[in-house]
Structure 1
Amino acid sequence: MSLEAAVGDLANELGSYLDTSRINQVRRAFYYAEQAHEGQMRKSGDRYITHPLAVARILAGLRLDHQSLMAAMLHDVIEDTGIPKDALAEQFGDDVAELVDGVSKLTQIEFRSRAEAQAENFQKMTLAMAKDIRVILVKLADRLHNMRTLGPMPYEKRQRIATETLDIYAPIANRLGMHAISTELEDLGFAALHPMRSRYISKAVQKLRGSHREIIEEIQGRLQAKLNERGLPGRIIGREKHLNSIYNKMKLKQKSFREIMDVYAFRIITDTEDDCYRILGAVHSIYKPLPGRFKDYIALPKANGYQSLHTTLFGMHVNIEIQIRTEAMEHIANDGIAAHWLYKNEPSDVTSVNQTRVDRWVRGLMEMRERADDSLEFIEHVKFDLFPDEIYVFTPRGKIMELPRGATPVDFAYAIHTDIGNATVACRINRNLGSLSRPLQSGQTVEIITAPGARPNPAWLSFVVTGKARSSIRHSLKGRKHAESMDLGRELLKKSLVGFGKRLSDISDAQKQAVVTHNQVNSFDDLVSDIGLGNRMAYLVARQLVSGAEEKESGEATGDLQGGGNAPVTIQGTEGMLLHFATCCMPIPGDPIVGVMDSGSGMTIHSDTCPTLPDDDLGRSRLTQLTWAKDITNEFSVELRVEMERQRGVVAEVANAVAMADGSIERINVDEQNARFGEITLVIKVHGRKHLARVMRRVRNIKVVTSINRVKY
């Protein structure tokens, strides 16, 4: 077909829903693009302009607005022909120029790795979607035509494009409710990655369909007869399983090809919601429904706006899957967010709900993007949101919330609002107190209990599944870690400056800036934070501040490397994520203590006599002298070893003695020595050395106890 004829066909198709002036604007965009791409060819040998024209045809099939079609015609002009965005804006208006620019920017960055390329692309896509969702629709149509014409590409490029399609573009199309494009992208990607498997399954499907034609026609005839009998409007169409779906079910669910294909699928499309439920009753009167296989996605739509009634029936010795929906729901199911333009002039509840869901999803992506440190972390957060298998739970006021399968009350809390998630302390499930880590089930009512000043627990990261919860928790923990590293770093720096006879307030801004520049960090706060994290030595930074930034860092400096050994840092015991108590010596308030800086993770506190500490002068000089605050109320773990004569009930007696001294047992282990003597190892919680002495005295007073000692490894 000639280009002129192809453009004429497109104009005829657009005539069914666009007026003449808008069709002429699309034509003008085509002629402009044809001139711009003059002389450029595709790998297949076709003129390059055939590609933008084919992309516009795909969007016309979705009945998109004229600006999207113009952007489709022009989508490669900025990138491939050097025509600037301003020139397009002058010719076709700002909206079209912005759309073309948005599509162009999705493929313009050079990447160091494929994983980074995909992640970076996805971040750019998110920004583009937030500005105008039509950018991603043009990009999906562009990708779909590229996948249809992938054949002439070199093998490695085919593999890369197919993998990216399956990893990013098909899931996005699915998340936007565009089932038709999503399934075609999946099948084309599967065929490019596994051509032999694709051909084998395709032949097997055709063969099976031929041998089962009579059964399919009989089922369809009985369904149609029942609808006619009850005077219900509805057209019945067979539903094909696509190749990638069959392959994934065989691979992941360990099902045989015959098991998957022994299910006959039909779709009944009718006029109204009311008709959907009437037809459901009609089909249940012919064949028996299978228990637990009915889903009402009309009352509870999927997160991407999909609505339909699903039921599985048993008849004629086979399972029959039936979907029942209205014409509007059929458009939403196939075209998703693209159907928004189809109903723009006659808005329906279905469309507005779908638009709201997509807007909410894109907003959520933007929040995650702002919190993520880099594009790879961002895409890790998003993966769960791209592959949802939803559950539906209720707020106490009856509002429905959709969450991915496996979501916990913490995911639910963050889905409501980030601040609620951050302040969560407990939850009620169906009015009873529940576990924050237990996965929720559809139909449960969830109430979140919050407390002012509460903060996310790092352990939550081990069980939350939604990207929003994961990114919000990480963001909060990073902020907390930064604040704590600042506090600890400032304390250590002050202490080191005392050794030089200076205070932090004596250091001028110019001196601080010189040291910041010398150490190649962004700010003095970052330098202080690095000290708290253990990435820099407080003594060396203090020496630079006092002597000038040109002072070189040297690990061979003499004297107390932490500086000011007579000014120990005070420890409260509640400093948070950057102070760790060593498990080798288990220090408690009252023990002489020192700190060892660990690069990136802060300070570990050891007992001064811990055998794991260095014993040479240089090694000891690198330790930070610490002292306990006077009013510590926290509990600390201590390990005790008790030797005693074996006697019935002695373990209970030891436990009782610990309780009488206001101690609590964390762990207890009985080691048998011989028939007469035994040994108990127990870890207990105490407030300090005085409390420990009281506990040990109580245990020692038990008649059968021969010795009790504190254990240090």
Structure 2
Amino acid sequence: MNLFSSLNDIDTIDKATDRLENILFYSMSPKVRNALNACIAAHEGQVRKSGIPYAIHPILVSCIVAYYGGEESMICAALLHDVVEDTDYDIDWIESEFGDDVASLVDSLTKIVDIRKEEIPSSSDTNEKLVASALSFRKMLIASIKDIRALVIKISDRMHNMLTLDVLPEHKQRRISEETLVVYAPIAHRLGISSIKNELEDKSFYYIFRDDYNRINSYLDSHRQDLVLKLNNFIAKVSSILMQNGFMESDFRIESRIKRPYSIFLKMQKKGVSIDEILDLLAIRIIVNKDIDCYKALGIIHLNLKPIISRFKDYIALPKENGYQTIHTTVFDESSIFEVQIRTIKMHNSAEFGVAAHWKYKNTGIVPSMDWLSNLQYQDNNIEEFYELAKNDLYREDIVVFSPAGDTYTLPVGAVALDFAYAVHTELGSYAKEAYINNQKSSLLTTLKSGDIVRIIRGNHLEPKCTWIDAVKTSRAKSNLKLQCAQKLREIEQKSAINILSTIFFDHNLNVVEGFVKENNLLSSISKCTKDLDFLIDVKNRIKNNLKNNVNFLSKIRLDRLKLKKQEFNNLIIYSNHTISETLFDYCCHPKHNDEVLAIKNGSKVFIHHKLCERAGLEVNNGARMVYVDWKEDSANSYKVIVGLEDRKGTLATFLSTLAKYDCNVTGISYSGYKNQFMTTCEIVFESTTNDIKTLRNLLSKKYKIIDFFSLKDAYTQ
């Protein structure tokens, strides 16, 4: 019985206290004993939703903290973590009774509770708001925590709460589980505490996607006998191979496992397949005594079993940021595929307990780097952007690359040279000019591979490439590029607004327009003229009224020729007092429908560019003639959705009726070519007048397995 299942049946304070005594080997310090007594006294008369005494909760949280090697102050803080929030005791009392260290930890935990109360919405809020609030909470949690021990206590607190969710209403189970999956599991992952991370994920998965959880569990139960037989046969074969090649029985032990439900679910979602198409459900772990034995065992296994080389990773030579060290390989055996992990006992303890291993086992393995806490850079992203950045940073597959000096940098799979530059230093990323990868001159957008040696050449000027935002992978690179490009966008919009107004006045009064903007303190708001027609007309009329007595102006322009006319072209609307014959999308950029665009006038033609197009930016800065442009609101957008549907009668019809409910017009349906007992994959092309692809995707994702969803409409191709 593992720790977490052993806590489930505890329903009295005496049983909880006995469990804590047992974990502490019946050597509870006087300070911890005093904290335990204070906890029981402070929460006297309080009960949980289940009806059991409230004090059981902090005692069992302290059990989890103690099990993971928490020292005296951490155990005391775990026992007292709800005292300030829920009773009449305050931080000053805790400091006087238990010292600065315990008080500081409890204060950090109390602040997290305060943040949670502000950020987590009521159960009546939509799913999108629930997820958004959880993300916002996690952002502030990371920013507010200075002591890593407080994070471990808080994760332990959440772990026990997840064990007791059954007594809560379903909407609260779901809300807490969503928060857990988005907030706590990724942080446990980064702290390297895999045993807690796995439990948090599986518990959350059960409450959020119960049907999927039950379906996967049902599959595993029905195939368990066969899977266990395969594992046992494979273990016997590996043991025999190792002992035939110099290993003694005492030199190693082998553990086995079937992949966890949430891990299987993620693979199914990522690949768009069913569980019976997941090839690597089975895994073994070889635990040896010495580092060199890891490589001996690896060599023996690769000599006797066929490895899948693309799945090989050596995290012993190149540890993860959280200190994780293990060799990963995947091999074929009798038409089955097995994941094999090889590590020492010390590495195993570090992998299971992460940062906590360095309290529990004293100087075990590599000390985890906590730089990731300060390196998570989300700045002022909106919640959708924040979610993508957070997800990529906290749940990602990594590569390791080298600087010319041999320093290692961990980056996500798909990272480019510019990501590396930002990882070295923000300034190097911002001024990066070119890259050398393995001594070969390369683009800054070259995708890196594990083992690459990367050198960045620094330029003299800050020239953000705004079209590169989608090409980089790390939050640090994305956030810095967006920050630089936001300033560039403001400058482009300011200059475009002045150019539009100057064009309205037939190019005779550029200086007059600029002077009017400055005299009337409009510089900070003039950019609105590029996206707010009413504001543009208002400023135009104010300039016109200001120039009514200007004889030179009136001699060149008739006032009745300043009225803006609406002119429609395909999916665009132009407002201008000039007659426009056609609109064209220039070759230099490919704006998608509803991207922010600008319109440059050349004779009677208008050329459409993305606002961040570099070529257009040069023309704008040189005073190009410009007109006001907008997308037609009623223009239909084309989308393709790839959706996994349960293989039962009526599911496709139900999905199509859902699309119809959201005013979507289906124009094409095709099947992926495979069908299994769980899921059929369909590709559906449809049109919708909505401009918000993310909202539409989220609406569908709440009910269906959306594998991919993207826009087909490229304005350039119209």
TM-score (norm 2): 0.67
Shift of 1:189: 1.2
CA gap of 1:462–1:105, structure 2 versus 1, over 3 A, is same
1:118-157 CA-partner distances (Å, limit 9, x unpaired): 232012211233x112222122112211111111111111
Partner of 1:680: none
CA gap of 1:97–1:567, structure 2 versus 1, over 3 A, is farther
SS of 2:116 mapped into structure 1: coil
- The answer on whether the counterparts of 2:91 and 2:106 sit within 8 Å (CA) in structure 1 is yes
Distance 2:319 2:299 in 1: 20
- The answer on whether the counterparts of 1:498 and 1:563 sit within 8 Å (CA) in structure 2 is no
Partner of 2:612: none
Distance 1:602 1:58 in 2: 55
Identical positions, percent: 32
Shift of 1:504: 11
**Residue 79 of structure 1 pairs with residue 72 of structure 2:** no
**Residue 192 of structure 1 pairs with residue 207 of structure 2:** yes
1:165-221 CA-partner distances (Å, limit 9, x unpaired): 222322222122221111111111121123343234324324433245444334323
Distance 1:411 1:563 in 2: 55
Shift of 1:423: 0.9
The amino acid across from 2:351 in the alignment is A
**Residue 560 of structure 1 pairs with residue 545 of structure 2:** yes
- The answer on whether the counterparts of 2:517 and 2:526 sit within 8 Å (CA) in structure 1 is no
Partner of 1:448: 456
SS of 1:406 mapped into structure 2: coil
Question: 1:107 pairs with 111, 116, 141, which one?
Answer: 116
Distance 2:264 2:427 in 1: 42
Shift of 1:161: 1.6
The amino acid across from 1:52 in the alignment is P
SS of 2:525 mapped into structure 1: helix
Shift of 1:428: 2.5
SS of 2:117 mapped into structure 1: coil
Distance 2:425 2:287 in 1: 38
Shift of 1:87: 3.0
Question: 1:390 pairs with 393, 398, 403, which one?
Answer: 398
Superposition map of 1:53-132 within 5 A: 53-92=59-98, 93=100, 94-110=103-119, 111=121, 113-129=129-145, 131-132=146-147
SS of 1:462 mapped into structure 2: coil
Distance 1:444 1:405 in 2: 13
Q: Give the superposed CA RMSD.
A: 4.4
Shift of 1:558: 8.4
The amino acid across from 1:329 in the alignment is M
Distance 2:266 2:199 in 1: 15
1:610-640 CA-partner distances (Å, limit 9, x unpaired): 599xxxxxxxxxxxxxxx99x979999xxxx
Question: 1:460 pairs with 452, 462, 468, which one?
Answer: 468
Task: State how many pairs are aligned.
Answer: 553
**Residue 27 of structure 1 pairs with residue 40 of structure 2:** no
The amino acid across from 2:358 in the alignment is H
- The answer on whether the counterparts of 1:534 and 1:602 sit within 8 Å (CA) in structure 2 is no
Shift of 1:242: 0.7
Distance 1:109 1:140 in 2: 19
Partner of 1:266: 284
Shift of 1:351: 2.9
Superposition map of 1:544-559 within 5 A: 559=544
Question: 1:43 pairs with 49, 65, 86, which one?
Answer: 49
CA gap of 1:585–1:555, structure 2 versus 1, over 3 A, is closer
- The answer on whether the counterparts of 2:61 and 2:78 sit within 8 Å (CA) in structure 1 is yes
SS of 1:351 mapped into structure 2: coil
CA gap of 1:137–1:102, structure 2 versus 1, over 3 A, is farther
- The answer on whether the counterparts of 1:266 and 1:322 sit within 8 Å (CA) in structure 2 is yes
CA gap of 1:193–1:208, structure 2 versus 1, over 3 A, is same
Partner of 1:641: none
Distance 2:132 2:272 in 1: 32
TM-score (norm 1): 0.67
**Residue 472 of structure 1 pairs with residue 480 of structure 2:** yes
CA gap of 1:455–1:635, structure 2 versus 1, over 3 A, is farther
Partner of 1:322: 340
Distance 2:89 2:497 in 1: 53
Question: 1:168 pairs with 168, 176, 183, which one?
Answer: 183
Shift of 1:160: 1.5
SS of 2:435 mapped into structure 1: strand
CA gap of 1:80–1:555, structure 2 versus 1, over 3 A, is farther
Partner of 2:360: 342
The amino acid across from 2:135 in the alignment is A
CA gap of 1:288–1:453, structure 2 versus 1, over 3 A, is closer
The amino acid across from 1:142 in the alignment is D
- The answer on whether the counterparts of 1:485 and 1:530 sit within 8 Å (CA) in structure 2 is no
Distance 1:262 1:492 in 2: 60
1:412-437 CA-partner distances (Å, limit 9, x unpaired): 21111111111122222332232333
Structure 1, 281-290 or 408-417: larger mean CA deviation: 281-290
Question: 1:11 pairs with 21, 42, 59, which one?
Answer: 21
Partner of 1:411: 419
Distance 1:432 1:563 in 2: 64
CA gap of 1:83–1:603, structure 2 versus 1, over 3 A, is farther
CA gap of 1:318–1:114, structure 2 versus 1, over 3 A, is closer
CA gap of 1:259–1:375, structure 2 versus 1, over 3 A, is closer
Distance 1:567 1:442 in 2: 66
Q: Decide which structure has the larger Cα Rg and report it.
A: 1
- The answer on whether the counterparts of 2:84 and 2:91 sit within 8 Å (CA) in structure 1 is yes
CA gap of 1:302–1:556, structure 2 versus 1, over 3 A, is same
The amino acid across from 1:450 in the alignment is R
Partner of 1:519: none
Question: 2:238 pairs with 192, 217, 223, which one?
Answer: 223
Distance 1:107 1:139 in 2: 12
CA gap of 1:268–1:470, structure 2 versus 1, over 3 A, is same
Shift of 1:458: 0.8
Partner of 2:524: 529
- The answer on whether the counterparts of 2:401 and 2:408 sit within 8 Å (CA) in structure 1 is yes
Partner of 2:314: 296
Distance 1:484 1:258 in 2: 53
The amino acid across from 1:363 in the alignment is S
Shift of 1:102: 3.7
SS of 2:284 mapped into structure 1: strand
SS of 1:307 mapped into structure 2: coil
Gaps of 5+ in 2: 1-9, 502-507, 555-579, 585-594, 607-617, 627-718
SS of 2:31 mapped into structure 1: helix
Gaps of 5+ in 1: 513-523, 542-552, 569-581, 587-599, 613-627, 637-713
CA gap of 1:91–1:533, structure 2 versus 1, over 3 A, is farther
